[in-house]
Structure 1
């Protein structure tokens, strides 16, 4: 996955993502929800447009710079659906793995703080 462009506006990123998808290039927009919530509060001042496949990076850049560029690495609709589905599953698996490692640590810290408070240390 490679960062194609950053945008100040979510709508610009979504427009670019739709144009690329029509050409067979699957993408992901990062920080979309954080940016909408308020970039000043969340720190997400821009949104990122990411290409899911590194092999399509140069084609994506060229197409966004020139709508007449002929995309040579585009995928069929069936391939797009497969890649997008796989990316979603990978994302959920990574998040779940993170929860399994971080969750017990957070729980231990909370239990420790409660224990120390009851003992009068805090």
Structure 2
């Protein structure tokens, strides 16, 4: 992932995102939530636009300079977003499974400790 540029102008970043993604260059917007949540403050928060695949960086820069530029290796942005969402869902599920496993192990250890203490005190 490479940074294309940063700006405090959220509308300009969004316009760039739309152009790049419409031509098959998936991007990531950094500090988007921070910008939205702190927009009432006088301090301008820089929002970054990043090209997801490094091999598309030069195409992204060229396309932003000239919107007639032909992207050499466009990707299916919807497919990329779907795979990203699926990976996030799997990570959340995996995290929940780990928490439940830890809880069950603690519960079993507590039960074993309880019965061992009952047996040794009788």
TM tier, shorter chain?
0.5 to 0.7
After superposition, the C-alpha distances for 1:21-60 in whole angstroms (9 at most, x for unaligned) are 110110111101111222696x762100011111111100
Secondary structure of 1:16 counterpart: helix
Aligned partner of 1:35 in structure 2 is: 35
Q: Does 1:66 align with 2:66?
A: yes
Q: Max radius of gyration: which structure?
A: 2
Aligned residues: 92
Query: Which residues of structure 1 form unaligned runs of 5+?
Result: 101-122
Q: Distance in 1 between matches of 2:4 and 2:54?
A: 10
Secondary structure of 1:21 counterpart: helix
After superposition, the C-alpha distances for 1:54-101 in whole angstroms (9 at most, x for unaligned) are 111110010001111111121135543455436x629x67xx7xxx9x
Query: Which residues of structure 2 form unaligned runs of 5+?
Result: 100-122
- State the shift of 1:19 in Å: 0.8
CA RMSD of aligned residues (A): 2.9
Matches within 5 A, 1:1-122: 1-38=1-38, 45-77=45-77, 79-82=79-82, 84-85=84-85, 89=88
CA pair 84-65 structure 1, distance change in 2 beyond 3 A: farther
